[in-house]
Amino acid sequence: MSRDCSSTTCTKESCEGCKSKEKGAGISKEMANGYSEIKKVIGVVSGKGGVGKSFVTASLANQMAAKGYRVGIMDADITGPSIPKMYGLKGAAQADDQGIYPMITENDIKIMSVNLLLPKEDAPVIWRGPVISNMVKQFWTDVIWGELDYLFIDMPPGTGDVPLTVFQSLPIEGVFIVTSPQELVHMIVKKAYNMADMMHVPVFGVVENYSYVKCPDCGKEFKIFGDSHIEEVAAELNVPLVGKMPIDTSFAEAADAGTFGQIDNTYLKDAYTYLPKALEE
Ligand SMILES: Nc1ncnc2c1ncn2[C@@H]1O[C@H](COP(=O)(O)OP(=O)(O)OP(=O)(O)O)[C@@H](O)[C@H]1O
């Protein structure tokens, strides 16, 4: 394991007494598990629920895995986890006194989610905010991620406890914001943007989902949520528009069938260009 001491590669072993531990406006970052070495931590957030955040997280992870990077997904949506199901994974994840082992998808992505720790995948998580936030911290401190180039974090919707914990406690490089084309989008995207900004977390870009649906017979595009305002919002916030995704039933079917590892989401094909480089060029 490298002895490199940066805020993103700090581990219990390599960074004992490390200065970077003291960075971050007086809030010290949590130390990763001693057997993890993670280069870039990337969040995926949304101002409201159901806009396709998990879908975008998994698409980004697939894209980077296909390019040969070592990739993980931390499912921080503790009360509504959907990542394991998308990849057809079921618990129980294994653990020993060194930590908890993530499960691995067919396309070699390491996954940790509360659903891999529950006795039954339909058991509800009825925990209060601080307990949920602690679980997310444990996904960082107790999970043996090994060596990763990118760890994507699928956050719960909104600006609550979990994004706050992740922004304050993990060495996050930046976030993507996912949204849908509705009237409220201005306010909702701005809330998510403003939270990241207040926490000094860069926004890499915005992704619009459910932009249109294409008629399978005539190819005509229908904007079922109305006209998009995402270009204006992106310009106003001065962040790139990373992609616009239609409703694509083949993707939804893959997510339901647990075969999302086979999906190459071409609507986000340039997303990788907005990510910080994990490897020296
Ligand atoms: N572009 C799309 N085309 C077809 N189905 C989609 C698309 N985007 C998302 N879905 C489907 O919509 C549902 C919600 O998506 P997803 O779980 O990614 O949303 P989310 O924002 O993560 O939700 P939550 O608020 O629960 O965290 C899922 O069943 C997903 O497969």
Render pLDDT for 56-70 as a digit per residue (tens, 0 to 9): 999 999 999 999 999
151 bridge partner residues: 41, 72
Question: pLDDT confidence of 113, banded at 50, 70, 90?
Answer: very high
pLDDT, residue 183, reads: 66
Nearest CA to ligand 1 atom 26: 50
pLDDT, residue 23, reads: 38
Say how far apart CA 108 and CA 98 lie, in whole Å: 22
Record the tokens describing residue 180, joined without a space.
Answer: 């849908």
Chain-wide mean pLDDT for the chain? Answer: 87
Reported as a single tens digit per residue, the pLDDT across 179-238 is 988 767 788 899 999 999 999 999 999 999 999 998 878 888 899 888 888 999 999 999
Distance 7 CA to ligand 1 centre (A): 32
Residues in the chain: 281
Domain ranges of the chain: 33-264
Measured from CB, residues less than 6 Å from any atom of ligand 1 are 46, 49-55, 77, 80, 82, 157, 209, 245, 247-248, 251-252, 255
The candidate with the shortest Cα–Cα distance to 240, out of 208, 195, 267, 199, is: 208
| Res 96 pLDDT > 60 | yes
Say how far apart CA 149 and CA 278 lie, in whole Å: 5
| Res 269 pLDDT > 80 | yes
Q: Where does 33-264 sit in CATH, by number?
A: 3.40.50.300
Say how far apart CA 15 and CA 12 lie, in whole Å: 6
Distance 33 CA to ligand 1 centre (A): 31
SS3 57: helix
The candidate with the shortest Cα–Cα distance to 106, out of 259, 266, 264, is: 259
The interface pTM score, or ipTM, of the predicted complex is: 0.96
Higher pLDDT residue, 227 or 83? 83
Reported as a single tens digit per residue, the pLDDT across 242-267 is 999 999 888 999 999 999 999 999 99
Which numbered atom of ligand 1 lies nearest the CA of 246? Answer: 1
Binding annotation for ATP = 47-54
Give whole-number Cα distances, 78 to 46, 140, 156, 238, in Å.
Answer: 15, 14, 7, 31
Give whole-number Cα distances, 101 to 27, 83, 119, 122, 275, in Å.
Answer: 28, 16, 16, 21, 26
Nearest CA to ligand 1 atom 1: 247
pLDDT, residue 280, reads: 61
Reported as a single tens digit per residue, the pLDDT across 2-26 is 444 444 444 445 545 444 443 344 4
Distance 50 CA to ligand 1 centre (A): 6
Tell me which H or E stretch contains 6.
Answer: none
The angle subtended at Cα 242 by Cα 238 and Cα 243, nearest 5°, is: 130
Which numbered atom of ligand 1 lies nearest the CA of 58? Answer: 18
